[in-house]
Structure 1
Amino acid sequence: MPIAIASRGFRGLYAARFTRVASAAVARPIVAQTQRLPRLAMSTKSGVSSPLVQHTAWQRLCVSDLDRLYPLLTAYIQQPSLAESVTELVMDFSSSDYSWPNDYPPDEPREPSLGVAGDLVRKHVCSLGLGDRETKAMLHVLRLWTNRPEIPPKGQPGDLPSEPDYLRDEFAGLAAVVLLSLCKNISTLHMAQPLSGFNPMLEDYLLKTNYGLLQAPGLQNLKKVEVLPGWWWNLETTYGHLEFLRLFQYFHRLPAINAISIDSFQEYQSYYTSFIPRTGNMKTLKLEHVDMDDFLLGLLISIPKVLVNLKVSLGGKEHMDGGVPTIHPQSIGRALAQHKETVAALDLDLDLCVLESTCKGKVLDSTDGTDDGDSDIEEFGRDYYKMDQETRLLVQKTPIALESYGWTIGSLHDFTSLTHLSIGIYALLGPPNSLGERLARLPPFRLIDALPPNLESFCLYGYKKGENIDVDEHVNEFLINKEARFPSLKEVKGIEEEVPGVAQLFPEESYLERMSARLKGEEEETSNQWPTPEFPDEWKPVEQSSLR
């Protein structure tokens, strides 16, 4: 039941196409001075019994006033069984505007914080075993929150808070930790990345839970994590900023974790640049409408011990520096080869970034992870790094000659478990030349020989008959021989009728048009941007009665 707490290449303004080169981490990007306020929403299936307050029962309850958290937290602390119905948690630490919205139904009175509730929460915080320093920090925030001046209810949408924004953010992080520790049956977690990163208290709890360092860790039943941007820069046109590797470090060792899904984020001046491969328990990765180079993408692909489902699409929004990421298909193919015996579904929409100019460059290996510098280990956490080294899945690594990939992701013929394949034509066969009429370099295999033998569903993104002579030859050969070579094949898309990928839906030229309009002071067109998905946040009442 849901419960919610609220490098590179670009076609410039000129005809030439340039490459945005991935750079080493330097400093964190300068952030806007105005911070968004945390938004909290909670839902529970059954009534909450608390002598401190009465609530209307809701299947999903959106709470913007943090004072309302106390009754729920104390009810769960007093009667832990009440939290068992919670299976879905939404954590969004950014509101839709600069104000602190008051969005309670008119029949929901606003109540001040209670001292006895604060005592219960304090005792629970002390029982978590997070360490003296972390516990003192949380108690300090709780003390500031409970002793702050009372705010008279105004009841008007968009009322601004009188206490400092940082205190609300800190208390929201504290409340998230308490909820995660109490709600043992959470299976789905929705997280919105705030502008300045996750709250340190929440981050500390997630890391210690993930590495099993707490006596009673939470999230033991967590199966799926979905991450979307909070408000950041310009939600309609620009990617959110995310430390991808740090996010994976919060969840990758959890016993039940199965899937991590990320949408509409960019890599930018990352602090975290290393990860031990083959240490993650997740089997499904979805990285949709993201902006990252091939080294980071290969590193993320290498994290799972066993990868079954992978979906990646590059592009759809604007990177803050402009352009598209540097992608060597052969680097991604080398990372995928680690999972050739287990991958069953593969969806790669990369063609926006598959360019002749970048394929000529040096390919870095992201699949080893054993040569990390001392500074990388310190950022990761030396103890955490050692624990991952000790538990990584060791497999015999047979290097594949880079020449066998050409400028492609390589042959998928040895992917015997792969039954569902959707892929951009140029990721599969290599980039086109500057005119687009021929391939820049012929692949070291025929398409018919590079497809997995047990293929059941096949889709090509961005293929148009007659556009590229070399591609047409490969596709025609496939059509002639597909029945004999692929007896299990039931579905073929993207040949008779084009299936557009990101490169066709959100072409790079549209970014340039918006850039030009921006320079001229004209209104920008945003309809050709990938719309950022939203978390569920609507009210859903269970029954109109007081919880007893």
Structure 2
Amino acid sequence: MSLHTLPEEVLQGVIGNLSSHQDVASLSLQCRRIHRLCEMSTRRKYRRVRLRDTFDFAKAFGMLLSILKKPRLGLYVRNIQLERSPAVGYGFVESYKPRPAERALALDDLYRLKKAIERLGFELVEKQEKILNMLQAPAIMYDDDPRSPFLAQALAAVLVSVSPMLESLSFCPVGYEAPKLLRLEAEADGEPLPISDYVFKHFLELASIRGKNMPFLQNLRAVRFLVDPNTRVYHSSYYQPYDLFTSLNLVRRLPAVESIRMDAIADADLPSVEPPPRLGNYTCVTIQHSSLSYPYLVYTIESAKRLEKFTYGIGGRSSWNGMLTHFHPERVFRALFAHQASLRQLDLDVEEETRLLDLDSLRYLKYNPEEEEHESPRDDPVYLHEWADELEKLPAVDESTADFCCLRNLLQLEDLSLGVHILYLYARGYGGDQLDNGSFSLVDRLPPNLVSLRIYGYKKGMKPRLKGVSQNSLEEQLAKLMAEKDEKLPRLGVVEGIEEPIPNGETIEGPMNKDRLWKGDADDDWTVYEYA
């Protein structure tokens, strides 16, 4: 039977089972009848929701009322972006003070809105009433109105709850709260810390705890952490401090999450509690154009149950104080090596932010052993109290893991991108089975199933920035690689960065080098008809 001859109810079922808007768009081209059933103009209007300024809030509220009236419209929402943090002016708002409702709603709309709030999962009636009051803020307000961050978070929470097919979520910092133990201690001392009203943050926390028992966020696969454009700590040309751990902890337990991404971030001024290891559901982590101290990278890598793809690169931004962050090659590689059974893609572009490499200690000379004291130990009472329930169920560590680790033992790795010196170090390895520089052979220490190799920062004739390595070592090793790869690495079909240099990512010296700034992603996907 031809697709064109199917009854409308059958066609509706076919269309409803297509998760991709592109697939629906292709199907809509078959004939006028199918195009009408696909409702492409309506799909485009509801495809993405952005919450950046008060103009967006007004549009999003109208879309929310339409979805509550016709729930099938919520099936069309695939991406929500929250770009409004709890910052107003030079300070942060924490607590919301209810005011008389200033948004007139029909009784039917008000009833549906109340029911939607009840389904968010908050049990306290007082909390539900406060959220309703947030949503009844005036339709028109200034961006610096202290109610605007709360309205944005309330809208984001309810919109997510009525969008069962939501695939991607982007959000900026949604509020800092002190760890549980510190709050308990403050309360015991008779000086309780203020209670925050960060609705979206608390909504994600509830959803993470209940997991598959919640009727939403079951299809969310991609999460992106954003720097709030309205509350940058420094000029936009600088890396921005970002509380990475809070964001990770909000999404790591969501049932379908696969990838997380962030750009242009630096260490937080006041970091939250690091996530526990081996419990995050994401398998792909991308951190680009950023400058993070190595503990952030280590804890992020360790937080995943299984990691398939990891990308970290510096460059395209300036450092506000002119300092470079510390990268600890061994600590980062050992964290990655714990995922040797799953890691398929690795991309590290960090060498331009380092100095001379010391092979005796296999760490950058900028790194000092004393810095390990600043790492948050796993026996910290604050950490243990924060994740007590999860730590009880933490899967046991495989004690059979060998002390020695090198690239050769990453049997699943297919796509590798590294700076030329890090490539040398990781191929040489760490632990008891290291080869001396005289007997080391790069081609013999690369992953056996490698398909693609990309080398950053190599130039023909360059001298290695490695102590104890001969001046011609890099050139000789790469020449040997190219000569023997077909025999020893039969799957390796792409090698880049030897004949044509690939520059290292580079932290820019000062904000005046505008031509070297990372411009950010073009917002081409936002179109006028989406808010029509």
Query: Does the pair score TM above 0.5?
Result: yes
Q: Deviations over 1:329-353 (max 9, x none)?
A: 0111110110112111111111123
Q: How far apart, in 1, do the equivalents of 2:438 and 2:316 lie?
A: 27
1:457 aligned partner: 452
- Confirm whether residue 87 of structure 1 aligns to residue 78 of structure 2: yes
Unpaired runs of 5+ residues, structure 2, are 1-19, 22-38, 90-101, 178-195, 357-363, 427-435, 464-470
2:208 aligned partner: 210
How has the CA–CA distance of structure 1 residues 331 and 241 changed in structure 2, closer, same or farther, with 3 Å as cutoff? same
Equivalent residue in structure 2 for 1:186, among 159, 166, 170: 166
- Confirm whether residue 447 of structure 1 aligns to residue 442 of structure 2: yes
Quote how far apart the aligned CAs of 1:537 are. 5.8
Residues 319-468 of structure 1 mapped to structure 2, 5 A cutoff? 319-356=319-356, 358=365, 361-362=368-369, 371-378=378-385, 382=386, 385-398=387-400, 401=403, 411-430=406-425, 445-468=440-463
- Confirm whether residue 124 of structure 1 aligns to residue 131 of structure 2: no
How has the CA–CA distance of structure 1 residues 60 and 373 changed in structure 2, closer, same or farther, with 3 Å as cutoff? closer
How has the CA–CA distance of structure 1 residues 118 and 498 changed in structure 2, closer, same or farther, with 3 Å as cutoff? same
How has the CA–CA distance of structure 1 residues 257 and 199 changed in structure 2, closer, same or farther, with 3 Å as cutoff? farther
Q: How far apart, in 2, do the equivalents of 1:176 and 1:345 lie?
A: 33
Q: Deviations over 1:142-183 (max 9, x none)?
A: 3265365x85xxxxxxxxx35862211111110111011111
2:136 aligned partner: 146
1:495 aligned partner: 498
SS for the counterpart of 1:245 is helix
How has the CA–CA distance of structure 1 residues 376 and 45 changed in structure 2, closer, same or farther, with 3 Å as cutoff? farther
How has the CA–CA distance of structure 1 residues 501 and 119 changed in structure 2, closer, same or farther, with 3 Å as cutoff? same
Quote how far apart the aligned CAs of 1:420 are. 1.2
Q: How far apart, in 2, do the equivalents of 1:308 and 1:301 lie?
A: 11
- Confirm whether residue 526 of structure 1 aligns to residue 514 of structure 2: yes
- Confirm whether residue 169 of structure 1 aligns to residue 149 of structure 2: yes
Higher strand share: 1
SS for the counterpart of 1:75 is helix
How has the CA–CA distance of structure 1 residues 451 and 281 changed in structure 2, closer, same or farther, with 3 Å as cutoff? same
User: Percent of aligned positions with the same letter in both sequences?
Assistant: 22
Equivalent residues of 1:189, 1:226 under 8 A apart? yes
2:256 aligned partner: 256
Unpaired runs of 5+ residues, structure 1, are 3-43, 49-55, 99-110, 152-160, 405-409, 432-440, 516-523
Q: How far apart, in 1, do the equivalents of 2:216 and 2:380 lie?
A: 32
Quote how far apart the aligned CAs of 1:277 are. 0.9
Give 1:272's aligned amino acid: S
Q: How far apart, in 2, do the equivalents of 1:257 and 1:145 lie?
A: 28
Moved more, 535-544 or 313-322: 535-544
SS for the counterpart of 1:541 is helix
TM-score by length of 1: 0.70
Q: How far apart, in 1, do the equivalents of 2:255 and 2:132 lie?
A: 31
Equivalent residue in structure 2 for 1:66, among 49, 54, 57: 57
TM-score by length of 2: 0.72
SS for the counterpart of 1:221 is coil
1:290 aligned partner: 290
Q: How far apart, in 2, do the equivalents of 1:45 and 1:210 lie?
A: 33
Quote how far apart the aligned CAs of 1:213 are. 6.7
Q: How far apart, in 2, do the equivalents of 1:171 and 1:147 lie?
A: 7
Q: Deviations over 1:512-539 (max 9, x none)?
A: xx27xxxxxxxx2322122222555622
Q: Deviations over 1:160-208 (max 9, x none)?
A: x358622111111101110111111101112244798997111111111
Q: Deviations over 1:15-65 (max 9, x none)?
A: xxxxxxxxxxxxxxxxxxxxxxxxxxxxx96759xxxxxxx9565576725
Equivalent residues of 1:239, 1:265 under 8 A apart? yes
Higher helix share: 2
SS for the counterpart of 1:204 is helix
Quote how far apart the aligned CAs of 1:485 are. 1.3
Give 2:146's aligned amino acid: Y
1:519 aligned partner: none
Higher RCO (C-alpha under 8 Å, 6+ residues apart): 1
Equivalent residues of 2:297, 2:332 under 8 A apart? yes
SS for the counterpart of 2:249 is helix
How has the CA–CA distance of structure 1 residues 527 and 398 changed in structure 2, closer, same or farther, with 3 Å as cutoff? farther
Equivalent residues of 1:230, 1:240 under 8 A apart? no
Q: How far apart, in 2, do the equivalents of 1:444 and 1:279 lie?
A: 40
2:126 aligned partner: 136
